[in-house]
Amino acid sequence: MTTILRFMLLSLPNVAAYAIFAIGIVVIFRASKVLNVAHGAMAMVPAYLVYAMSKAGVPIAIAFALGVASGGLLGLAVERVFVRPLRHVSVTAQTVGTVAALGLMVALSGKIWGTGTQLAPSVFPDKAMHVGSASLRTGQLGLFLVMLVVAGGLTALLQFTDVGLAMRGAADNRRAASLMGVDPDIAISGAWILGGATAAIAGILLAAVTNLNPLTLSLQAIPAFVAALIGGLGSLYGAIIGAAVVGGATGLVPAFAVLQRVQGMQQLLLGFVALAVMAMRGERYVASDVRSGL
């Protein structure tokens, strides 16, 4: 039992990162009904920008703020360039547009910064708390605390403000939102800005406690899609619960020697969870896409 508790504690950073990723995915989906496949790349590019600014001598606090802002601008750019022009086709077409954005951002980042692994700058002081024979770094604990702040802030924004109401209304019925004086395009763009900013937060903080690689960091968002699916793609609370399930389940794999001996067991477990969730809930998303084309 002590071993399981230790590995559960060590999985907290992954849970936090997946939760922040999933929250951004849900915010975008709730406003535009688009599953943003480029979310991981929207986290990776700001992390590299913070890395470049740190190398140039910019204080980490300023670099972090600029990196988050760049994530918001990147989210807006993806929506305007790759998603909005395909709105008249279908939601599936818009999702394919985000795949193109993912490929372009990964390719450009590899071209600019290289495809090797870099050591990202630390955002929090580099100290550690020992958990049995292992340890949790301050950056990992900070990542979890930031997740709580992001989740609380976005929940309050979406549930208790006119901005959140406008975003939800624009997604559910664009015509009705327009009649009530809400510009649906502005509301949807705002959601993509928020989604891009949260992706940047997760990417910068995750790179600081792991490493920086254009492909690896972009793929770190994949478990968050499973977490968002578990939560129903429409609930911030569900996204956090899904992240806890995914992060906890994959984090416990090393605790069992039998599972640890199977190469790629964490990825295999994640795949089984994704298939199970889609088998139970996939029809709802397919049906909504069909209705969008009517």
Q: What is the pLDDT of residue 249?
A: 76
Dihedral-angle region of residue 213 (phi above 0 means left; psi in -120 to 50 means alpha; beta otherwise): beta
Residue 260 to residue 282: CA distance in whole angstroms: 30
Q: Which residues of 168-194 are buried (b: 16+ CB within 10 A; e: fewer)?
A: bbbbeebeebeeeebebeebbbbbbbb
Task: Report residues of the chain scoring pLDDT below 70.
Answer: 1-7, 130-134, 168-182, 251-294
Q: What is the pLDDT of residue 168?
A: 66
Say if CB 75 and CB 83 are below 8 A apart: no
Residue 75 to residue 71: CA distance in whole angstroms: 6
Give the chain's end-to-end CA distance (angstroms, integer): 54
Amino acid in the structure at residue 203: G
Q: Which of 186, 171, 185 lies closest to 91 in space, CA to CA?
A: 171
Residue 83 to residue 39: CA distance in whole angstroms: 13
Say if CB 250 and CB 68 are below 8 A apart: no
According to DSSP, the residues that pair with 137 across neighbouring strands are: 128
DSSP 91-139: HHHHHHHHHHHHHHHHHHHHHHH-SS-B-PPPSS---EEEETTEEEEHH
Residue 87 to residue 81: CA distance in whole angstroms: 11
Q: What is the pLDDT of residue 13?
A: 83
Say if CB 205 and CB 44 are below 8 A apart: no
* Beta-carbon count within 10 A of 9 CB: 16
Q: What is the pLDDT of residue 44?
A: 96
Residue 184 to residue 134: CA distance in whole angstroms: 49
SS3 180: coil
Q: What is the pLDDT of residue 41?
A: 95
Q: Where are the beta strands (DSSP E) in the chain?
A: 128-131, 134-137
Say if CB 189 and CB 87 are below 8 A apart: no
pTM: 0.84
Amino acid in the structure at residue 131: V
